[in-house]
Structure 1
Amino acid sequence: MSKTFLILGALNTLLCIALGAFGAHGLKRMLSADMLSVYHTAVQYHFYHAFGIIIIGLLLLHFPKSRLMTISGWLMMVGIVLFSFSLYALSITEMRGLGMITPFGGVSFLTAWALLAYAIWADK
């Protein structure tokens, strides 16, 4: 499972760089300042959690049987999809209803980090 999260983390980081560059160069003139800020937030949290997934992949080398760390990694992936991708879509389409999905991603992120801390503390 460690290798899976290392690959997912690396691919998500690659995607962050591509989406960040696209936002900075391709969307700069197309989006309002407000929507560009929303897009930037999506990239920023995407980056944080791509690195979080890499950290989990590395931790799983030391805790290979940790079910809780594995769940934490998948929750970070779910969070990226629900939080960042809903904000990417919201910023480009300005469909405000997409913002209703974003908090579920935020809860996924919070749960993932809490679960990771518990897994390390409890050695589970």
Structure 2
Amino acid sequence: TTLTYGPDRKAEAQTVASALELPAKHLTEGSADGLTLVIGSDWPSGATYSGGSSAAPADTHAAVSNAHAQTADESKCAKVSPYKTVQLNGVAMTPAQAYAAASGKQDSAP
């Protein structure tokens, strides 16, 4: 799990990290504007990071007041490549074809 913040956004990132109980070592400065939170496999469930501190929650409304969130079911998500960029069992195919061919596999670790 990482929280990447753009130039002059460190204070906002620290507020979000505090609200999520995300340790400071998970924050990284990037070149893009805004904040980007990537939930990794080290965050198995819940609304806060399981390895976080017991600090008092921050003002979450202020921390996410200008946030732009999206989910996989929204049309504004990036398009999947139409090119054969992956291989499954040595056969080149598009990501969509590979996903369909691997229907017996879990999408992510439990």
Q: TM-score range by the shorter chain?
A: under 0.3
Name the structure with the higher helix share: 1
Bigger relative contact order (CA 8 A; separation at least 6): 1
TM-score normalised per structure 2:
0.22
Structure index of larger Rg: 2
TM-score with structure 1 setting the length: 0.21
